[in-house]
Amino acid sequence: MRNLLSLFDLSTEEIEAIFSIAADLKAKLAKGVREPLLQGRVMGLLFEKQSLRTRVSFETGMAQLGGSSLFLGEDVGWGKRETPQDFGRVISQYLDFIVCRAKSHERVTELAEHCTCSIINGLTDLFHPCQALADLMTVQEEFGSLKGMKIAYVGDGNNVSRSLALACAKMGAEFAIASPEGYELDQPFLIRVDQACPDSFVKMTHDPFEAVDGAVAVYTDVWASMGQEAEQAQREVAFADYQVNKKLMDAAAKDAIFLHCLPAKRGQEVTDEVMDAKTSRIVEQAGNRMHAQKGVLVWLSQQNG
């Protein structure tokens, strides 16, 4: 049974296959064609965290593919009313896919251990693989290729930047991240990336201008993610020099696009001027969440039979 807990679970060729499926389905949808490739399949959305894009894009994508979905909130008692093994063994009899949005990555890996259906990570504290797939799909649409392209991330070494770094490594793109001291990508993760992708190029710096130099895409995220609200004031001080503004965008490659996983705190990590510029691709990027995830769902169904 194949799962998508992080992009470590996928090879370069498998990511390319997912992109191919996603692009085909997106093109057909633009022509009004909705192929019922997952007719009769059921997806459960097991969420511990609030969501807009992840929930709506997965539910809509599944409906467009002819399947159905169930939102599973706190009332199902995941991890509370019964043991994880009992919960997993029972619920996976009913469902073909479970999209899990959890507070800790261990919760998702534990769920996968006890389920007999595909588990898809919809966000954890460590990884956000579906976001990274949509990110690179957006870059690929814009420039026609990923190999050798430089993508810069300005901000925290969090789940989003971690997944983006790994996605770039898998797809042959350069990745540069500028973070304040103490907020960099962790060394155990970087070692694991190097082991999985020996030819990868991941550069870390404390200088945002160094990171964006030559980059075709400049990416940022909120300074304090969900669960870090108590650190907001401290992080505003630490990240004060890491705002993506016009001056920083001008230091990137000519016609570089701007990306953000959203929601954004305008005026903090990014200015309105950048968010609303002609080179901003935040809307297209959010739209590609659905298309990339449809690719994931169809690809997993092909792998699992």
Task: Decide: 137 and 164 in contact? Cβ < 8 Å.
Answer: no
Domains and CATH numbers, the chain: 7-128+288-304 (3.40.50.1370), 129-285 (3.40.50.1370)
Bind-site residues for L-ornithine: 159, 221, 225-226
Question: What is the bridge-based pairing of β-strands 174-178 and 150-154?
Answer: parallel
Partners of 203 in the beta sheet?
176
Task: Decide: 124 and 190 in contact? Cβ < 8 Å.
Answer: no
Q: Map residue 123 onto helix, strand or coil.
A: strand
Reading the block at residue 21, the tokens are 């499926």
Positions marked active-site: 101, 128, 131, 221, 261, 289
Whether the predicted model's global pTM rises above the 0.85 cut: yes
Bind-site residues: 101, 128-131, 159, 221, 225-226, 261-262, 289
Residues contacting 291, CB < 8 A, separation 6+: 22, 23, 25, 26, 29, 61, 134, 137
Sign of the dihedral through C-alpha 158, 114, 100, 84: negative
From residue 126, give the alpha-carbon distance in Å to each of 16, 64, 101, 166, 298.
Answer: 23, 30, 11, 12, 25
Whole-angstrom distance, CA of residue 248 vs CA of residue 234 = 23
Per-residue pLDDT of 201-243, as tens digits, reads 999 999 999 999 999 999 999 998 877 788 899 999 999 999 9
Per-residue pLDDT of 66-103, as tens digits, reads 999 999 988 899 988 999 999 999 999 999 999 999 99
Tokens 């049974």 -> residue:
1
Q: What is the pLDDT of residue 64?
A: 98
Per-residue pLDDT of 252-285, as tens digits, reads 999 999 999 999 999 999 999 999 999 999 999 9
